Amino acid sequence: MEGTRQSLLKQIVDWVTSTSGGPQHNTYWFYGSPGIGKSSLAHSICAKLHDQKRLAGAFFCRRDDEKLSVLRNIFPNLINKLAGIFSPFRSVVANHLRNDPNLTPESMRDTVFLDFIRALPRHPKHSLVFVIDALDECGDAKGRPGLLKVLTEAAALAPWLKVIITSRPEVDIERFFDTLHIQSSHLRYDLARDEEAPSDLETFARSRLGAVALARHLQPLWPAESLFNEVLSQAAGLFIFVETLALSLERSSDPTELLKAALQGSADTGLKPLYSLYTSIVNRRRGDSKINDKFRLMIGVLLATAPYRPLCDKTIATLAGVELSLVQTWVDDLSSLLYRDEGANRGIRVRHLSISDFFSNHCDVSLEDANVRLGIASLETMTNQLSFNICQLEDSRVANADIKDLPFRIKENISDALQYSSLYWSNHVCCTSDNGNERVWGCLREFFEGLYPLFWVEVLSIMGVVPIGAPSLRRLVCWLQVITTPVFHHNIILTCCRTAIRPSLTEFKTLFVSSSPSTRLSLSALHTFISRHDPSCPHNHYHLPSSLRGLLKPSRCKPGSCRHGQHHHWNGLDTIVLSTA
């Protein structure tokens, strides 16, 4: 908020612009508990540095975002930003890519960034800063120290480069800075000890509660001083407490009574008052035990899908098995905790990471159970909704890229629940060590014993994500090998599943790896190629994978008019080359 953290921001700007010849402190770590204002501070820092043309790049990590929660995405992003503002660095990167054209963000080692820094012919005229916010929400405890090592080495190598990091005081991050060989190379700041924090929190609280009073036509000095002081006391330095409380009051028909109710309880410290506030908000929106069970199902889907992408109300209702009206009502009523992200197809997100922690630890929501249920729901969604030629494409000769209304067809024929299930079903099935749920085995058996794997490949092709297919199947096979106990080795359900999965994986490799270069699997959703190694192949099922039988029909392509190469071609699920080897 404008007007807060002013002294700290000035201190940071002075550090960035300092040209003193003393010890170099080129890395600054700001840490604090959830809700203390780390991300707000990071945004303010970026705004200040951008105005001074000193911002080299920023990366705001988010645990509930598939791209912003992956460590390997940080350096490509920062490299791209720095290349955009500093032409010598851009030339170094371009030369490296010319010499190594196969380099990708996935294959790039983090240390490549150090090579770029060393190769610079000259330095910028003034210092530039990288800002990484909420590092604790990205990657895991094993990967973060490696990234921090490269960042601090780069900052030590280049006096013009400075790095600002914000995070919770997680053990792996704190241990890294504690054990740095050159302790003088970095600074750290505990936001809980910021001397201006109490006055900043008061300023913020007066602003937010004043906005509530204005919107609800209350007295200008609302709330009473005693209530206001109690808000500050229970907030315990956490800006998120005030923000959540204000959001809740904005929707209340009686803000004063709600404020009094929310502040009832003991004068705890730490996160307890914040979680007590969350509890009071949730409890007002839940009903009897049956409704509570449905609420937990919805929250389970919300939390388990968060690492991949946010889902809209309808998709959550489908995968949770809950009435759509209930999901919509809960999201509306809990708008102080949840919101619909307009930039993500109105997918539902939590407003703060501490809310996810609260749901997991205080609402009896088990992530492991949620993943099991999601795995089952995803498999059932696919078996219920997958079908041959799901988008009703008329001409098998037209590549996906040439179908002008394909996005419309996808929206009309492939539900968001089916899209999500097709992408992430194996992530949820394989996310748990629970191997005793027979519904899982039943769903796997139904899926792999039918034609659904091929219909699934068709959907992946239409969505342009064919490459995820083989890893999804490999993940499942590995999971079965690791988690299966001797008790289940002889279980008929498990035997059927494992027997069915392996041929499907083999078939998928045949479909994808052997695809004709002229019309690859990922390019056309309706073409099937039959190798000419055996003239009888179109009529001899000995050469066909079992799940292809009955799908092949004569093509409508006229002799001499097809652009697909020297093959017999037949209408079918996808662009496929069947090897006779």
The CATH number that applies at residue 79 is: 3.40.50.300
Separation of alpha carbons 41 and 46, rounded Å: 9
Last residue of a domain, one of 468, 485, 513: 513
Inside any domain, residue 520: no
Same domain, residue pair 414 and 485: yes
Separation of alpha carbons 249 and 40, rounded Å: 22
Pull the structure tokens for residue 56: 């080299």
Separation of alpha carbons 473 and 201, rounded Å: 51
Same domain, residue pair 17 and 163: yes
The helix/strand count (H/E) of the chain reads as 24, 11
**Beta-bridge partner residues of 578:** 530
Same domain, residue pair 440 and 482: yes
Inside any domain, residue 521: no
Residues of the chain scoring pLDDT < 70: 1, 20-24, 181-184, 265-270, 286-289, 396, 433-436, 483-581
Separation of alpha carbons 497 and 445, rounded Å: 5
DSSP 370-400: HHHHHHHHHHHHHHHH--TTTT--S-TTS-G
Residue ranges making up the domain that contains 377: 367-513
DSSP 237-265: T-HHHHHHHHHHHHT-S-HHHHHHHHT-S
Cβ(388)–Cβ(65) under 8 Å?
A: no
pLDDT at 184: 54
Q: Please give the order of strands across the beta sheet that includes 128-133.
A: 55-60, 128-133, 161-167, 27-31, 186-190
pLDDT at 436: 62
Task: Report the amino acid identity of residue 172.
Answer: D
How do 338-341 and 347-350 pair as beta strands? antiparallel
Last residue of a domain, one of 217, 250, 283: 283
Pull the structure tokens for residue 210: 């004043």
Cβ(341)–Cβ(349) under 8 Å?
A: yes
Last residue of a domain, one of 362, 388, 409: 362
pLDDT at 271: 77
- Would you give the DSSP letter of residue 195? T
Same domain, residue pair 269 and 380: no
CA atoms within 13 A on the CB side of 206: 10
Phi/psi at 265 (nearest 5 deg)?
130, 180
Same domain, residue pair 116 and 40: yes
Closest residue by Cα to residue 240 from 189, 281, 301, 284: 281
Same domain, residue pair 298 and 416: no
Beta strands in 282-381 (DSSP E): 338-341, 347-350
Same domain, residue pair 105 and 168: yes
DSSP 422-464: HHHHHHHHTT------HHHHHHHHHHHHSSHHHHHHHHHHHHT
Q: What is the pLDDT of residues 187-224, one digit of tens each?
A: 999 998 888 889 999 999 999 999 999 998 998 889 99
Inside any domain, residue 522: no
Residues 6+ apart with CB under 8 A from 387: 455
Same domain, residue pair 217 and 236: yes
Inside any domain, residue 519: no
Number of domains in the chain: 5
Cβ(446)–Cβ(378) under 8 Å?
A: no
Task: Report the amino acid identity of residue 145.
Answer: P
How do 55-60 and 27-31 pair as beta strands? unpaired
Same domain, residue pair 132 and 156: yes
Inside any domain, residue 563: yes
Separation of alpha carbons 147 and 75, rounded Å: 9
Separation of alpha carbons 581 and 577, rounded Å: 12
Separation of alpha carbons 164 and 167, rounded Å: 10
pLDDT at 201: 92
Same domain, residue pair 314 and 175: no
pLDDT at 572: 38
CA atoms within 13 A on the CB side of 253: 1
Same domain, residue pair 229 and 255: yes
Question: What does the buried/exposed string (b/e) look like for 266-284 if buried means 16 or more CB atoms within 10 Å of the residue's CB?
Answer: eeeeebebbbbbbebbbee
Same domain, residue pair 263 and 298: no
CATH, residue 324: 1.10.10
Report the C-alpha dihedral over residues 482, 484, 490, 492, rounded to 10 degrees: -110
Cis geometry, peptide bond prior to residue 554 (ω within 30 degrees of 0): no
